[in-house]
Chain A
């Protein structure tokens, strides 16, 4: 059982600041972290290999050299080994070019050890798109199952897996043939404390770093900025809506005015 988890280093968007003068992202203001959904993806891979008592977990990331930090973090959670594809040729990639580069790396990884399952986080918190996972699945021609909240019954002889997939008002139970690609929600598991041996291993671990030349049969026109059909046309602060009125006075007076307002607007409270 070989599981590959795709992970991304992201700025912690809870902390990140926007420079109000230039309207650009002040990346220095935010620490880089392992995308939280991807942490759950690694944890789920650990859970699956534990439940069947064997398996190898590889993590794969694309990014600048400092992205090795998220691979080390994944080793801490319980991954066995990590690969980072890092090259200027990948820079500026949108989701289409990213899924292409990652699928090429996945092909290389599976040459040495066939891949049974690919797990990704639902989306990255810096882009919020959720497009790369399904894109990879399409490129590798394996079925994707997105928004997964539970994985059960991995049947190794039948090569099938049972999955609960979250939908708007409930869930679907899906049987998929492996290899397949899952994207996971946070509620799929809780991140456990990393055992000490994992932490020691992570501290010493040096992931394999591949440049574009290490990947095979790559069409360079599909990489990076060149391979990205979408571009950012402009950035703007959204037009401010007409600011509302302020209630004046001390707390008691404000509450009194608010009660009057609510009374005036009573019809709004009646169900449609």
Chain B
């Protein structure tokens, strides 16, 4: 039965007619898996009035797009999306099925896996495939510690995983790329639905948007206390950066959760990342290691953060950061050369 399952699928999450970044990243990752296995890569696109997005899915690497365009699918709901995805999976039998590890992606994948009685690996950060056994190797940080676990699903298909945003790379879109659009119908009526989305409220006042930040200054427990942590904000101000922090810092109440960088917070890829008083537990590193230019300041010369940092400073942040702030401010007053903001 398993032998009839072929093909790599990516769930294409769209909101308001815009495809989520993670879905495009997954098309890039899925392309590699599909090429190794010599099978097509397919996108699964659900929603209302979203047909035009299928060309984008193809441009980012898919050979095929399964589309269900239906009024009931306008907003994400587990009930309707699950039913549509299960129908498709049972009809076309993919061997690998990837979802973004977003609220909706995780929710959907959990429900689908239950129905298909198959395995689901959460929050994957590395994907590979063993070609001979057609086995997906989905790796994720485990036990909140410095360790990765590779999860396998040997006897059930499809092999499913949710994948963290920003850890995989999207391909450069090729808008001339040709692919097949397969439109599928579904019989669902609003009356069957037990949940209704009354309204969607976008938080326009949200001040901090780590995910899109260009420069991030992040602090860890090494800052000592809330008072000292204010140095992180000062440095960020001086350099025009967004403030981030570790899980410890968020749990200590020094920063709100939306500013947490790492496995249970945001995964980010800024151009410049300052890691200050951060030791570099795998959970944190997973969230920031793809930053382009990383500067770490830490007292402990053996701190793992130095392994990922472009430049490391072994020293006391409480001594170094105030000096740095002073230099930056002076440089800015002189004008020109260091005016980042």
Contact = CB atoms under 8 A, between A and B. Distances in A.
Contact of A146 (B103, B155, B240, B323): B103
A157 interface: no
A263 B337 contact: yes
A17 B120 CA distance: 26
A169 B123 contact: no
A96, A126, A173, A243 — which one has the most chain B CB atoms within 10 A of its CB?
Answer: A96
Contacts of B272: 265, 268-269
A138 B117 CA distance: 11
Given A146-B103, A170-B202, A25 B143 contact: yes
B201 A230 contact: no
Interface string A11-53: 0011011100001010000000000000000000000000000
A127 B145 CA distance: 11
B323 A255 contact: yes
B143 A174 contact: no
B340 to A, nearest CB: 4
Interface stretch (B38-46, B49-57, B89-97, B292-300): B292-300
A138 B119 contact: no
Contacts of A245: 310-312
B131 interface: no
12 contacts: A25-B145, A96-B118, A125-B144, A126-B144, A135-B114, A170-B202, A171-B203, A233-B152, A237-B147, A247-B313, A259-B324, A259-B338
A256 to B, nearest CB: 8
Given A170-B203, A234-B149, 17 more contacts: A17-B145, A25-B143, A128-B123, A128-B144, A131-B106, A133-B110, A134-B110, A143-B79, A145-B78, A146-B107, A177-B194, A235-B148, A243-B309, A244-B306, A247-B313, A259-B324, A263-B338
Interface in B141-187: 141-156
A158 to B, nearest CB: 12
Interface of B: 15, 75, 77-79, 82, 102-104, 106-107, 109-111, 113-115, 117-123, 137, 141-156, 194-203, 206, 214-215, 239-240, 248, 251, 257, 263-264, 271-272, 282, 285, 289, 292-296, 306-316, 319-320, 323-324, 327-328, 331, 337-338, 340
A272 interface: yes
The 6 closest A-B pairs by CB, nearest first: A13-B144, A229-B119, A134-B110, A129-B122, A230-B119, A170-B203
Nearest to B263: A128
A193 B167 CA distance: 40
A167 B77 CA distance: 12
B316 to A, nearest CB: 7
Nearest to A167: B103
Contacts of A166: 103
A89 interface: no
Nearest to B341: A269
A99 interface: yes
A66 interface: no
Contact of A246 (B153, B195, B248, B314): B314
A173 B198 contact: yes
B110, B114, B120, B198 — which one has the most chain A CB atoms within 10 A of its CB?
Answer: B110
Contacts of A99: 114
Contact of A173 (B111, B149, B154, B201): B201
Interface in A210-243: 228-238, 240-241, 243
Nearest to A13: B144
Nearest to B331: A259
Contacts of B122: 95, 127-131
